[in-house]
Structure 1
Amino acid sequence: MRWVGRIGFGLIVLAIAAFVALASWEPFFAQRSAEPPRQAYKAEIVRDHYGVPHIYGKTDADVAYGIAVAHAEDDFFTLQDTAAMTRGRYGAIAGPDGAAIDYLYHLLDARGTADRHYDNLPQDTQAIFNAYASGLNDYARDHPEEIKLANLFPVNGKDIAAGFALRQPLFYGLGNIILDLVEGNELRPEFGPPIPQADAKEARTDWPLPWGEMAALSGSNAFAIAPERSGDGVTRLVSNTHQPLRGGIAWYELVVESEQGWHFAGASLVGTPYPVMGHNRTLGFTWTVNRPDLIDIYELEVAVSPGIDGDEYRYLLDGEWRELERWTARLPVKLGPLVLPIEREFFRSAHGPVIRNDKGWFAIRYAGIDSIAYADAFYRLGKAENFEQWQAVMARMEIPSFNSVYADREGNIAYIYNAAFPNRKKGANWRTVLPGDDSSLIWQGTADFSEVPKQVNPASGWLFNANNAPWSAAGEADDLRAEDFAPELGVENKTTNRAWRAAKLLGETPVIDRQDLERIKYDKTYERRGYIADMLDDVAALDLSDDPGLGRAQALLAEWDLTSDNVGRADALAYLLLRDFMSAEYQNKPLPDVREKLAAATAHLETHFGRLDPPLSDLLRLRQGDVDLPLIGGSDTLRASTIWRVDDDGRLQLVHGDSFLMFVEWPPGERVFSESVQPFGAATTRPESPHYTDQMELYVNQQLKPVHFWRENVLANAARRYTVESN
């Protein structure tokens, strides 16, 4: 029987070998990036009392190197996630959710896009990408104990560019469309992409969220006030994006200055080698998400036939059968201590990426496809010195989406409903699934900038956007008309409750000074319109004679004062109800069952508070580490507390809403001045840092801190000053 024991021992050895292989194969098989060209970089980093880095260098590339090091000092944890995404390796860190993003990486050919176009970027843009990558590499080399995935570094400029190619299309809803196609869901007759919204009970504090929730700005406000309307001759700009408060699309505040004329204060995203919103000496700009139809779906006729090396795939185009591009990629999926290699097949046609499901074969074409030109455009906007230069960059039509609101020291204000609008053939119904056999429907390039909705220096003296259609931006007398713009642009026609409220408040305020602008920005009132009115009417219409408990909730909601200001007795109940109704509106889905949602909100309050009318600030909390603060604001109010996670004690921890907030001012004849605040602090993943929670009280109290833009102010408020140099 010795042979039985030997077999058993052999099986154990094989099992151990298999375990070791599955636990360790991924780093060895992962494709490694070449080190960027070696350069000597040197940057000075001055941190103020809130830990915000002010980064100085002789060249822009020196500054980009310093940006990478400073950001890694504060959040190397999240930077590694982004680095893994740029190589299709995020599943080895985050498991199935990460593998879903790796699937998108291969489907969208993010790496191929970077490889094809990186060398076409201007040399100075390539230089800052390579310098930024070098900064990440040097930090990783100096801190090996922090690395969470072997062979992730070095990275290079193309890796950074691949990250742009992966993330940018997801800001306008491409992930949702892909998810529908992958799962074989019925496509809506008019499938214009909604703003993705995380389900309130499943909202996560890490990033990126899977699929369409990844990189989704599901709200934002922006305001610009001209000097003739401000009462004191000051031009003002307010940047108020609504993003996840933590993770890869949480804002990172910084100030940069080089001897090549780059001087900018604002915020960047993880994996971005420059700030993408804020202000320089002469001008400022910010972004809000818009929802134009930038995605076209084509149904292909595909023939599959056996070939020498396996099945061959062809699709019909203009009466001819063409070969369907096809490749296989291995997705790493971490499950416990193991990383499983999961192979997936990918296809591409002349239209773009192709997805096969039970209903057939579908190709996708989207704004910014096969381009990384916007990686240069964002950089150029920050270096523009006046409105003409800034608008010239916008006119390149390279930034795939986002509204932009602008102001400058000359008193100009502007709003652009920006997108890389496809140059579509007139007459086709672009809101439906298109026939894939007609090449005339495969658009090339973009529409002309002259066709884009925009407002410059309206007579009203104010401009705003709150994720609404461009037909409301400057007041009724100045607003654009939908009928004046081509339907092929696919401009949205929806609005938000915040937009109705902003237009009302701005329009009825004769002089919009700083105090009034703050009052408007922090407003917590809803307009009784749209889904708000529908929800209240539906609750009032319920027959609850069979459930006295729900009847009490119904009566309480009937007295709601339409605010989220912590004063009314019904604020908490309304806040719990509203999220799902807002989400349905934003996603073009039917409103939820109102009795079911009322019952769930009632049960939550009674279970965790023993009452239906706790103060909203008892329910809604801002939490980080050991700090737990009361919070107010609404899911669709100008003071935005949008998405929350239910904690074990029944409190709602805010994970998405007002994020980085900046007020910028140009007083007549004076230098630019700005103030800002973040929800937590500069070091968002360093609990041991004093800057992990040091802005929380400012945030909940609706207060701002000064931005030290000018060097003498930076040095006067310096808490730490040091130099970083390339290894």
Structure 2
Amino acid sequence: MNKLLPIILFASLSACSPAPESQLSSELSNLVEPQSSTVSPEELIRWQQQAADVTISRDKWGIAHIHGKTDADTVFGTLYAQAEDDFNRIEINYLNAMGRLAEAEGEGELFRDLRMKLFIDPEVLKQQYVLSPAWLQSLMNSFADGLNYYLHTHPEVTPQVINRFEPWMALSFSEGSIGGDIERVNLQLLQDFYGTSNMVAQLESPSDEEPRGSNGFAIAPQNSASGNALLLINPHTSFFFRSELHMISDEGLNAYGAVTWGQFFIYQGFNENTGWMHTSSRADAIDEYLETIIEKRDGFYYQFGDEERKLTESQITLPYKSGDAMSSIEVTVYHSHNGPIIREVDGQWVSIALMQEPIKAMTQSYNRTKTKTHKEFYETMELMTNSSNNTVYADSDGNISYYHGNFVPRRDPSFDWNKPLEGSNPATQWQGLHPVDELITLFNPANGWIQNTNNTPFNSAGEYSPKPEDYPAYMANNAENPRGIHAVRVLEGQSDLTIESLIDAAYDPLLTAFEDLIPPLLSTTATDNMSESVIGLTAETLAYINLLRDWDYRYSIDSTETSLAVFWAQQLMDDVRVQARTADVNIYEFMASNTTAEQKLGALRVAAQTLESDFGSWQVPWGEINRYQRL
């Protein structure tokens, strides 16, 4: 039988087998128990009994390998181990997921909380917990117990808000992607609609200014030197966005990979039989509706076909930290049958429809980690709740596959689903979901490789890719991107890939975007916004251009060309992003073909000045910029 050879490319490349217990092993039941009046004796006994069935071993990289007798035991130990590493991130994730950030950060986070509470209701989640199958309740119980036991055994840790975790809380955070669907709602426009003049403006989220995206490659046995399938998992997230760990139980759990802080499933990773990689998707899973509002004496109504339906009106309480005390405000919010009202456009109120199936989402997220075959993995995909991701897959039987999105409503293709729809027209309603066999998928393409880089699925396997004419347009809004073009180049024609050569392919230094960006810059003949012409360009500007003239578009630690080119392209992208979006043109195409000489040269000067300001010279080796630093 073929075996899956997985590659995990996180901050470090780590082995997938448990470390010996002599390496920082901790038996949880041997911990000294501090006294606590908030924990009942019965509860403490239960925690201690479960801890006795859990072992946490840390390898030389500090990665936790958690072993439990049952899956629930392993979940208990997983949350305990995550809390050991970074309890603060766990708490922040749940404060955000439940709309409680303002209780820690103050009234500047009220509208972020309101956004979440338009969708997340604790009372509903408590009911859904009760309705969950027994096995899932057991895992959620262990999720809460593991965190509470950690807090009990670490009295020096003071939570900002959540002093006790409850099992139902896990359902508020059932998907591990970068920014869930709810975060698509614009906070400023939400505040404009629901805010009052005496409310503090929503705080801007600090940006690390890092590019986002992910790459996934799956290689069939026919193209690997070993005859085994290969899977490359290359997520692009902020440095500490997820932890890396290994979950093992005597009930068949044996998964390694990335876990978003506070969750109890391997978000992207592998077990001994299957591997899965998620890339952020643009398959259309969300729609907005323009609601025609009629105000009457007893409330607000909206038009739907020949009906006038009353908007659901409710009060949301938003507690917030005010100095050393707590205060709160009440906000009246509205829902149509499509979803909550989130803003106003030209007199019409806008509602939003998106996936809200936390039990099914949690079931899919966890069960995929225990699949043994493609058939089993496919069955998890049939739950259709992975709403924001594509999936690249490989297994030990030699299968490779690709799923573009997972939650895709069936719609009338005569409408433009990239814009808000007229809510009064019943024809704009969702017509159920597309089953998995109607989605854009690939299974064992003849070329023997699959790639996705957050790009179009219609280049995922070169000439063997799915064809756009076979699918409705709303299934694939992703354009091609330079990473996708590059991925096809490094994978085409390869027939003897090893783990090492696949890593080399992933790190091939060619920067394909500049093949289209640099030539127009070199041939600039118009004047820029400082009245420089091709004849009268300043010596400095000519020096910038000349540095790039003979560049081979490959990065290296010594390359000054890479530094100038990257800073220039990022500046140009920032300058024209709105124009490209307004023109509905792919940003890379717009930068190469639609920007003026003034824009190109202006961005080049700003890039050089930024390098001068930040590094003392505009000719800085790339290795001095793109490097790990301990801050």
Q: The TM-score by the shorter chain falls in which range?
A: 0.7 to 0.9
1:165-185 superposed Cα distances (whole Å, 9 cap, x missing partner): 8x769446x534534743779
In the superposition, the TM-score normalised over structure 1's length comes to 0.70
- Distance, in Å, in 1 between the alignment partners of 2:104 and 2:278 is 31
Could you say which residue in structure 2 is the equivalent of 1:661? none
Could you say which residue in structure 2 is the equivalent of 1:260? 251
Pair 447,99 (structure 1): closer, same or farther in 2 beyond 3 Å: same
1:328-361 superposed Cα distances (whole Å, 9 cap, x missing partner): 3233455766665344332111001112436334
1:86-107 superposed Cα distances (whole Å, 9 cap, x missing partner): 4422122234664343122112
Q: Note if 1:41 corresponds to 2:41.
A: no
Q: Note if 1:561 corresponds to 2:548.
A: no
- State which of 473, 479, 482 in structure 1 corresponds to 2:468: 482
CA shift, 1:558, in A, is: 3.2
Consecutive aligned runs of 4 or more in structure 1 exceeding 6 Å deviation: 35-39, 537-540, 583-587
1:377-427 superposed Cα distances (whole Å, 9 cap, x missing partner): 011111111111111111221211311111111111111112200122343
- Distance, in Å, in 1 between the alignment partners of 2:414 and 2:317 is 42
CA shift, 1:619, in A, is: 2.4
CA shift, 1:154, in A, is: 1.5
1:417-454 superposed Cα distances (whole Å, 9 cap, x missing partner): 12200122343332332111233423253112111111
Could you say which residue in structure 1 is the equivalent of 2:164? 154
Does the 8 A contact of 2:56 with 2:66 survive in 1? yes
Pair 546,461 (structure 1): closer, same or farther in 2 beyond 3 Å: closer
Does the 8 A contact of 1:36 with 1:157 survive in 2? no
Alignment of structure 1 residues 289-438 onto 2, 5 Å = 289-307=280-298, 312-334=299-321, 341-357=328-344, 359-438=346-425
- Distance, in Å, in 1 between the alignment partners of 2:572 and 2:560 is 20
DSSP-derived class of the 2:247 partner: strand
Does the 8 A contact of 2:91 with 2:262 survive in 1? no
Q: Note if 1:598 corresponds to 2:604.
A: yes
Could you say which residue in structure 1 is the equivalent of 2:484? 499
Gap regions ≥5 residues in structure 1: 1-34, 186-197, 206-212, 626-727
Q: Which amino acid aligns with 1:280?
A: N
Could you say which residue in structure 1 is the equivalent of 2:135? 124
Alignment of structure 1 residues 499-538 onto 2, 5 Å = 499-528=484-513, 532=517, 536=521
**Cα-Cα RMSD:** 3.1
- State which of 601, 604, 617 in structure 2 corresponds to 1:611: 617
Q: Which one is further off, 348-357 or 436-445?
A: 436-445
Pair 41,460 (structure 1): closer, same or farther in 2 beyond 3 Å: same
Alignment of structure 1 residues 45-84 onto 2, 5 Å = 45-84=56-95
Does the 8 A contact of 1:374 with 1:400 survive in 2? no
Could you say which residue in structure 2 is the equivalent of 1:621? 627
Q: Note if 1:272 corresponds to 2:281.
A: no
CA shift, 1:620, in A, is: 2.8
CA shift, 1:530, in A, is: 8.5
- Distance, in Å, in 2 between the alignment partners of 1:530 and 1:184 is 43
CA shift, 1:78, in A, is: 0.8
- State which of 211, 219, 228 in structure 2 corresponds to 1:234: 228
Does the 8 A contact of 2:338 with 2:353 survive in 1? no
CA shift, 1:135, in A, is: 0.9
Could you say which residue in structure 2 is the equivalent of 1:688? none
- Distance, in Å, in 2 between the alignment partners of 1:220 and 1:231 is 25
Could you say which residue in structure 2 is the equivalent of 1:639? none
1:102-145 superposed Cα distances (whole Å, 9 cap, x missing partner): 12211223536534533343221221112111111121233233
- Distance, in Å, in 1 between the alignment partners of 2:124 and 2:454 is 29
DSSP-derived class of the 1:254 partner: strand
Q: Which amino acid aligns with 2:170?
A: I
Could you say which residue in structure 2 is the equivalent of 1:222? 216
Q: Which one is further off, 329-338 or 57-66?
A: 329-338
- Distance, in Å, in 2 between the alignment partners of 1:295 and 1:95 is 30
Q: Note if 1:175 corresponds to 2:183.
A: yes
Q: Which one is further off, 496-505 or 87-96?
A: 87-96
CA shift, 1:243, in A, is: 0.6
CA shift, 1:552, in A, is: 2.4
Does the 8 A contact of 2:386 with 2:407 survive in 1? yes
How many pairs does the alignment contain? 555
- Distance, in Å, in 2 between the alignment partners of 1:36 and 1:596 is 66
1:540-583 superposed Cα distances (whole Å, 9 cap, x missing partner): 75543364433322332334332222343311111212234556
Does the 8 A contact of 1:367 with 1:420 survive in 2? no
- Distance, in Å, in 1 between the alignment partners of 2:477 and 2:518 is 21
DSSP-derived class of the 2:462 partner: coil
1:158-214 superposed Cα distances (whole Å, 9 cap, x missing partner): 11111238x769446x534534743779xxxxxxxxxxxx99xx6239xxxxxxx9x
Does the 8 A contact of 1:220 with 1:242 survive in 2? yes
DSSP-derived class of the 1:431 partner: coil
1:589-632 superposed Cα distances (whole Å, 9 cap, x missing partner): 6758434432321112223433221111112332234xxxxxxx
Q: Which amino acid aligns with 1:52?
A: I
DSSP-derived class of the 1:455 partner: strand
Q: Note if 1:141 corresponds to 2:152.
A: yes
- Distance, in Å, in 2 between the alignment partners of 1:452 and 1:36 is 48
Q: Note if 1:243 corresponds to 2:237.
A: yes
Pair 495,444 (structure 1): closer, same or farther in 2 beyond 3 Å: same
Could you say which residue in structure 2 is the equivalent of 1:551? 542
